[in-house]
Amino acid sequence: MELEKLQKIITEVLNVHVSEVNPDTTFVDDLGADSLDIFQIIMGIEEEFDIEIDADDVENIKTVQDAIDRIRDAE
């Protein structure tokens, strides 16, 4: 369930096709996200999942799976 919600957030922010977003996808290398894009994705995650992600944790979120793990840890 987290993956589908996360895919929706990522595709809206980065304007990519959902097929490009899987757990192994990296935000920067695979999707071309810059720091503003990542900030928008993190804000979307926080709003969608009603969690707060520390700035220190954001630096460690490199892949979609990293984001899923962070969401699961916060729930």
Q: What is the CATH number of the domain that holds 65?
A: 1.10.1200.10
Answer yes or no: is pLDDT of 1 > 90. no
Residues taking part in catalysis: 34
Domain assignment of residue 57, given as a range: 2-74
Q: Is 33 left (phi over 0), alpha (psi -120 to 50) or beta?
A: beta
4 pLDDT above the threshold of 90:
yes
Largest CA distance in the chain: 29
Number of domains in the chain: 1
pLDDT tens digits for 13-43? 999 999 999 999 999 999 999 999 999 999 9
Query: Each residue of 59-68: pLDDT tens digit?
Result: 999 999 999 9
27 touches 63 (CB < 8 A):
yes
- CA 67, 33, 5, 54 dihedral sign is positive
